[in-house]
Amino acid sequence: MAPSVSSTHFFKDLSKAPSVTGGVSHCNSYEFIAPDDVLIYRIVEKKYDGAEYGYIAEVYELGFYEQDTFINPHIDRLRDDGDSDEEITQQIMALEMEDENKAILVARFAYDPISFLDIHKQQVSGIQIRGAFVRDKNSGTGLAGQIYRQLVLAHDHLVCDNVQTEYGAALWAGTIRDVVGRVDIYDYAAQQYIQELGEKGLGVFGFVPWDLNSAENPYIFKMGRWVNYPFQITRCHHIVLIVSQ
């Protein structure tokens, strides 16, 4: 279950909903506002039967009647009054001014349930990310980090995918640490924490959590900073990254 940085052919297309042989059921939905912005998003979690992934979280950018003339200035006023983002979201949604025709799908995240032992050796449950899609317009804006933060608040524990793209690895090494919270390196085989993930893709005591899965195809880096990051030589299937509430 190691976070392997895979070769360039690795790709999970979540730009469209996965095909299913079974049914789809609605599990949960909740809204959040982007920090220092006036955009409100809704996460809709669905359970898929007979799909490659057990669950899908679809993320929509919401639209409102009188968005520019009332909603946006009202959000600014609430922020000036010192209201938290959670309070602002609740107050805006309570106005019942949402225009459902303006909702835009901006992201889709796939995940499966997972359980492990916490630092106190108690069994806990969370979700493991299995794939992600963010539309081009929202890519690189920090939206993925905010969505991961909401998933942690909803599910307590978020675990990285067993195979990542370079961009996914960079998300965990940087944005998630900055936006969501502490990221820990975890030995899933031994069911124990190793150490906290620190700067430059390393544990705070030097542990290397990523391997470079390039046995068949030499890896071509697209992000300059990752060229100098260290990787395990052999695949370490038992290592994952975890962020908790």
Q: Where are the domains of the chain?
A: 4-10+111-244
Closest residue by Cα to residue 164 from 121, 212, 101: 212
Pairing between β-strand 157-159 and β-strand 123-134 as defined by DSSP bridges: parallel
pLDDT tens-digit profile, the chain (245 residues)? 346 665 444 445 676 666 666 678 888 999 999 999 999 999 999 998 877 788 999 999 999 999 999 999 999 999 999 999 999 999 999 999 999 999 999 999 999 999 999 989 999 999 999 988 899 888 877 899 999 999 999 999 999 988 777 788 888 988 899 999 999 999 988 999 999 999 888 999 999 888 876 545 555 666 665 656 677 656 667 889 999 99
* Cα(193)–Cα(191) distance, integer angstroms: 7
Q: What is the pLDDT of residue 21?
A: 65
Q: What is the pLDDT of residue 1?
A: 36
Q: What is the pLDDT of residue 6?
A: 57
Instruction: Give buried/exposed letters for 141-161 (b at 16+ CB in 10 A, else e).
Output: eebbbbbbbbbbebbebbbbb
Q: What is the pLDDT of residue 226?
A: 61
Q: What is the pLDDT of residue 184?
A: 96
